[in-house]
Every structure is written in C-alpha cells, then in structure tokens.
Amino acid sequence: MITLLDHKTTLKYLAYLGFKGDTTAALNLIRKKRADDRKSTTGKAVNRSVLNCYVFGKKGSGKTALLRRHIGLPFREKYIPTEEPYSVVNTVEMNGAEKYLVLREFGEGFAEELFDDKRKLSQADVFCFVYDSSDQRSFAYIAQLMSEYRHDISSIPCCIVATKRDLDLAEQKYEVRPEEFCKQLVIPTPVFVSIKDAQRTIDIYSLLTGLAYDG
C-alpha cells in the first residue's frame, strides 16, 4: 500500500535496508491505463495483485467503519469524524488467488479536491459511494457528487453501498429514489450492508474486488 500511495517512500526503505543496485528495479511499474484498455484481449483486467478503491460519502455515513472492518478492527459505537484521507489494505481471495484491496477514504471536501486532480483520479480501479440508509439526507450528497462528476466516473466501475442496514430504513430526500438514480447512471442498485452486524450482509470487499478486476 505504501508503494501504491508513495513509491518514493518504498525506494527510501529499500536503500536503507541495503538493496543492491538501482532501487527502482525492485518495482513493477504499470503504465497509466485508459478507459478503453482497462481489459486485456481475454476480457480480464490487466493482471495485477493490488487494486485501488476510492470510498466517498457524507460525514457519518459509515466510510471509516467500512475501512476498519476490512482490516479486522472492531466496530466503534462512538462516532469519531475522520479529519484527513484514511487508507487501509487487506487481502481478498478471488478465483483462488490473493488480491490486495486498498480502500482509500475521501470525505466531504477531500472528494471534490480529488475529482479535480485527474492524475489521482485515474489511479482508481473502482469507486465506492457510501450513504447511511437510516439518514434521510445522506444519499443526496453522493448523488450530487456523482451527477456533478458523471463524466469522470463513467470509465470506472462504481458501487453504491447503503450502510446501517441494522437500523430503520429512511426514505431518502432526493429528486429520485436511489434505485432510479442507479438506473439513470446505468450502475448496479445499492448494496445494503451492516458493519455492526456483519453476518447479515454480503462480502462487500469481494464484490469491490470483483468490480475492480473485471469492471
């Protein structure tokens, strides 16, 4: 994950540990992908073991809880706002092989800044938009974000995750229902999960990995 986020740090580590020769030789560089070459001629994505997922959502939507669950940390009852972008990584098995799924959280303010940085935006393999299904105004944030940057996300697989499935479902106050919004953007309907009661939900991390790899 460190190599993905800041390869210069990895090169410093290698030099410090006594790597012989050019430290850049230890890295496997993959050329910047375009929308029309995400897949190989066999229909699969370029064979990589590290997949990059950007996670967006309104404050309190459950982004951090989603990331913490990915690395096996317990659910926190007390809400602690994330003050800066947060990243985690863990392995996910896919078709008998291990993939490393990196989740990178971008909250309000950071998301808009990221979408204005085309270089960083192009590094994503999948986008995960999170909203709190028990909060009437939570979906509106990601819907407006996705609508504003519709052109930018069109070439990247997207997944909308509705968190807090264990709580009462609230009718989202937006122009259209979440399901109808997904139809308009031609993306899968929201996936409902509960980080607090993980046994009641699908394996969202395998789903994101599959989208990143095959999308």
Domain 48-214 falls under CATH 3.40.50.10470 = no
- Beta carbons of 121 and 33 less than 8 angstroms apart: no
| Global pTM value | 0.84
- Asked if residue 199 has pLDDT above 80, the reply is no
What are the residues whose beta carbons fall under 8 Å from the beta carbon of 85, sequence distance 6 or more? Answer: 104, 105, 106, 107, 110
Residue 96: alpha-carbon gap to chain centroid: 22
Q: Which residue has the higher pLDDT, 96 or 201?
A: 96
Counting other chains too, the contacts that 165-170 makes at CB distance below 8 Å and 24 or more residues apart are 165/133, 165/192, 165/193, 165/194, 165/197, 165/200, 165/201, 166/194, 166/196, 166/197, 166/200, 167/133, 167/134, 168/134, 169/133, 169/134, 170/133, 170/134, 170/135, 170/136
Return the pLDDT at 47: 63
Mean predicted lDDT score pLDDT of the chain: 86
- Asked if residue 38 has pLDDT above 60, the reply is no
For the chain, the domains span 48-214
Largest Cα–Cα distance in the chain? 60
- Asked if residue 46 has pLDDT above 60, the reply is no
Please report where in the chains the tokens 């003050």 appear, as a residue. Answer: 83
Return the pLDDT at 158: 95
Residue 31: pLDDT band with limits 50, 70, 90: low
DSSP state of 113: H
